[in-house]
Structure 1
Amino acid sequence: MTQPIYAIGDIHGQLGMLEEALARIEADGGPDARVVFLGDYVDRGPESRGVIELLSQGLAAGRNWVCLMGNHDRMFSMFMEDYPRNDARLLVGYHWLHDRIGGAETLQSYGAEVTEGTRIYELHTQALKVVPEHHRRFLNALPDYHQEGELLFVHAGIRPGVALEDQSQDDKIWIRQEFLNDQSDHPWLVVHGHTQIPAPEHRGNRVNLDSGAGFGRALTAAVFEGRDCWVLGAEGRSPLLAP
């Protein structure tokens, strides 16, 4: 019998939603369930610190978890370097602390004072003081994909026609249209987030689990047995089928 593997979409600082999703997974698969988190743990929501603390402590305790890197996690990690960097994939005029990105909410969850007019170097100085070292290690250690059996888990997607070992990290955490519009079969069913949609969807060659928790909508937890997929709701499993 195929062992189930669970996946959770983009969390974006929604600690309560994450705890509920983990409770649903434990009810379905027990305390040792295999769980892959698809990245974007921080920004927009109010409790990024709590999310990273829960995940980092779970890994430290030996939980059967894989935590992948999302583009928002990399932006946070880049800001926490000795000299903060801006992700080159951001649109011109955007930066991690831009209103539409959500970095300010992440820093506020750590107790940093973020007010209009606060300079980036001042926020960086605060961040170095309030973000625990083990959170920085967690961010820096995140892998950018996980392949298991017939499934490939990745935050954003892959570039069609490129071998897995040749995929760039930028594509794995940032790609959109080239991947989303491609209808050809991949060597695996690709399970991803990154592009928020009203509800999880199965497109035959990929499954998108980013249902918009960062914008106050639901956080999706799903379970896979081979390529078969179900969404975990309050009443248990509901099949997620390709059109």
Structure 2
Amino acid sequence: MTDPIYAIGDIHGQIGFLEAALDLIAADGGTEAETVFLGDLVDRGPDSQGVIERLMQAQAAGRDWHVLKGNHDRMFHRFVTEGTEHDARILSGLGWLNPRLGGLGTLASYGVDVEAIGSAELLSEAARKAVPQAHLDYVNTLPVYRERGDLLFVHAGIAPGVPLAEQTEDDLIWIRDPFLKHTRRHPWLVVHGHTALDMPFHFGNRIDLDGGAGYGRPIYPAVFEGTDCWLLTEGGRIPLVP
């Protein structure tokens, strides 16, 4: 029997929810448990800076943690380093600084006075001074998936039928309908976030762990033993089944 592996969905700057989820994992599997974080570390919540620092420090200390890149993490990096506010995969045309996407909250967590700075260009300039290079390097080099046996951990999903080596970063961090509407089995049980639900759900061929932390709902950590899955709660494990 393989060791259990734990997973945490989208964090979105919610450091308090993250710490509560980590406490549940520690109670179930100990502080050294292998844990995968499904990306979207930043935006919308109050402390994106604190979330990145927390994960960086734990990995530097040797924790068996594997942090994946989400679309919000890439937007954050691109805005700070390039001044890029828009991503072609956002069909609405909204930019990262729009309140719905939450970029202003991320900049504020680094001490940028977002209310006093009126233009995207000046915000990007202020962000380059405020965001540590170590945080930018960390976000930019995050992997986009983790394969573990019959499980594939990824932020958004995969393009159905495409070999893993041929999947694009854009699909792995952005995809929705072609993946969400696919009902046949994949080569793995795909564990993902990105598409917020009221709480995690098992769709048979995939599990969506984004319970909506970006909209103020708690983070629901999960544990996997093989492809069997449970959500962790204060009252213990709850089976997550199709």
Q: Is 1:212 equivalent to 2:198 in the alignment?
A: no
Q: Give distance in 2, aligned partners of 1:222 and 1:6.
A: 6
Partner of 1:78: 78
Q: Give distance in 2, aligned partners of 1:156 and 1:144.
A: 10
Q: Give distance in 2, aligned partners of 1:116 and 1:233.
A: 42
Deviation at 1:124, TM superposition (A): 0.9
Q: Is 1:46 equivalent to 2:46 in the alignment?
A: yes
1:63-142 equivalence runs, <5 A: 63-84=63-84, 86-91=86-91, 93-115=93-115, 118-142=118-142
Q: Is 1:10 equivalent to 2:10 in the alignment?
A: yes
Deviation at 1:93, TM superposition (A): 3.3
Asked if the contact 1:32–1:63 (Cα under 8 Å) also holds between the matched residues in 2, the reply is yes
Partner of 2:160: 160
Q: Give distance in 2, aligned partners of 1:110 and 1:101.
A: 17
Q: Give distance in 2, aligned partners of 1:223 and 1:119.
A: 44
Asked if the contact 1:21–1:221 (Cα under 8 Å) also holds between the matched residues in 2, the reply is yes
Partner of 2:21: 21
1:64-110 C-alpha deviation (Å, 9 max, x unpaired)? 00000000000001112145463221235311101211000000111
Secondary structure of 1:43's counterpart equals coil
List, as ranges, runs of 4+ consecutive aligned residues in structure 1 with deviation greater than 6 Å: none
Deviation at 1:34, TM superposition (A): 0.2
Secondary structure of 1:66's counterpart equals strand
Q: Is 1:189 equivalent to 2:192 in the alignment?
A: no
State, as a whole percentage, how many aligned pairs show the same letter: 57
Asked if the contact 2:83–2:120 (Cα under 8 Å) also holds between the matched residues in 1, the reply is no
1:210-234 C-alpha deviation (Å, 9 max, x unpaired)? 0000000111100000000000011
Pair 165,65 (structure 1): closer, same or farther in 2 beyond 3 Å: same
Asked if the contact 2:4–2:224 (Cα under 8 Å) also holds between the matched residues in 1, the reply is yes
Asked if the contact 2:117–2:123 (Cα under 8 Å) also holds between the matched residues in 1, the reply is no
Give the gaps of 5 or more residues in structure 1. none
Asked if the contact 2:86–2:93 (Cα under 8 Å) also holds between the matched residues in 1, the reply is no
- State the TM-score, normalized to the length of structure 1: 0.96
Asked if the contact 1:78–1:87 (Cα under 8 Å) also holds between the matched residues in 2, the reply is no
Secondary structure of 2:159's counterpart equals coil
Q: Aligned letter for 2:216?
A: G
Q: Give distance in 1, aligned partners of 2:152 and 2:237.
A: 21
Give the gaps of 5 or more residues in structure 2. none
Q: How many residues align?
A: 242
Deviation at 1:140, TM superposition (A): 1.0
Q: Give distance in 1, aligned partners of 2:205 and 2:93.
A: 34
Asked if the contact 2:211–2:218 (Cα under 8 Å) also holds between the matched residues in 1, the reply is yes
Q: Aligned letter for 1:20?
A: A
Q: Give distance in 2, aligned partners of 1:212 and 1:16.
A: 14
1:143-182 equivalence runs, <5 A: 143-182=143-182
Asked if the contact 1:12–1:41 (Cα under 8 Å) also holds between the matched residues in 2, the reply is yes
Q: Give distance in 2, aligned partners of 1:158 and 1:116.
A: 41
Deviation at 1:184, TM superposition (A): 0.5
Secondary structure of 2:81's counterpart equals coil
Q: Give distance in 2, aligned partners of 1:93 and 1:115.
A: 23
